[in-house]
Amino acid sequence: MKKVVLELKVNNHSGVMSHITGLFSRRGFNLEGILCGPEKNSSFSRIYLLVNNNDTLHQIQSQLAKLYDVLEIRICKGNDFSVFFEIDKLFKS
């Protein structure tokens, strides 16, 4: 199944992750992978969501856009997504 990454710019506070993952579970959207980290010198974070590129992609985007803490959404196509599957290599020791 073709995949795509959604890059989100979000407000950096403790509830944001729950809002986003909660959205996926209650709408029945599949979330294949998630990476998140704070932006340097700002009150924002970036979240990278690995999702399937299918019919539900449009709904996923429009529902995410409704979340108050989600400020920007960008679709990243054609990038190398292997990082999602090889994160364990970064933390061997």
Partner 1 sequence: MKINGAELTIRLLEKQGIRIISGIPGGTNLPLYDALSKSTIRHILARHEQGAGFIAQGLSRSTGKPAVCFATSGPGATNLVTAIADAQMDSIPIIAITGQIPSQLIGTDAFQEVDIYGITIPITKHNFLIKKVEELIDVIPEAFSISVSGRPGPVLIDIPKDIQTAEIEISENFFEKIEKTVTAKTLALNTDFTAAASMINNAAKPLIIAGGGIIKSNTSDLLNELSVKNSIPVALTLMGLGSYSPDSNLYLGMPGMHGSRHTNYILQEADLIIALGIRFDDRLTGKSDSFCKNAKIIHIDIDKSELNKIKTSDLFIEGNLNESLQHLLEYIEQNERKEWIKHIENIKHEYPELTAKDQFSPYNIISIINNLTDSNAIITTDVGQHQMWTAQYYKFRKPGTLLTSGGLGTMGFGLPAAIGASLGKPDCQILCITGDGSFLMNIQELALLKELNLNVKVILFKNNSLGLVRQQQELFYDKNYFASRFEFNPEFHKIASAFGIESFNLAESDDIIHDLKYFLNLKTPAFIEIPIAQSQNVFPIVPPGKSNYEMIGGGYHEKSCS
Stretch that binds partner 1, among 13-21, 30-38, 41-49, 71-79 (CB under 8 A): 13-21
User: Is 59 exposed, middle or buried, given 0-12, 13-18 or 19+ CB atoms closer than 10 A?
Assistant: exposed
Q: Which of 1, 2, 26, 92 binds partner 1 (CB under 8 A)?
A: 26
Q: Which of 40, 58, 89, 92 binds partner 1 (CB under 8 A)?
A: 58
Contact between 92 and partner 1 (CB under 8 A)?
no
Contact between 15 and partner 1 (CB under 8 A)?
yes
What tokens were used for 67?
A: 């979340």
Contact between 22 and partner 1 (CB under 8 A)?
yes
What tokens were used for 76?
A: 């990243």
**Which residues have C-beta within 8 Å of that of residue 56, sequence separation ≥ 6?**
29, 30
Quick one: which H or E segment has residue 85?
A: helix 82-85
Q: Which of 9, 19, 34, 46 binds partner 1 (CB under 8 A)?
A: 19
21 backbone dihedrals φ, ψ, rounded to 5°: -65, -35
Q: What residues line the site for partner 1 (CB under 8 A)?
A: 15, 18-19, 22, 26, 58-59, 62-63, 65-69
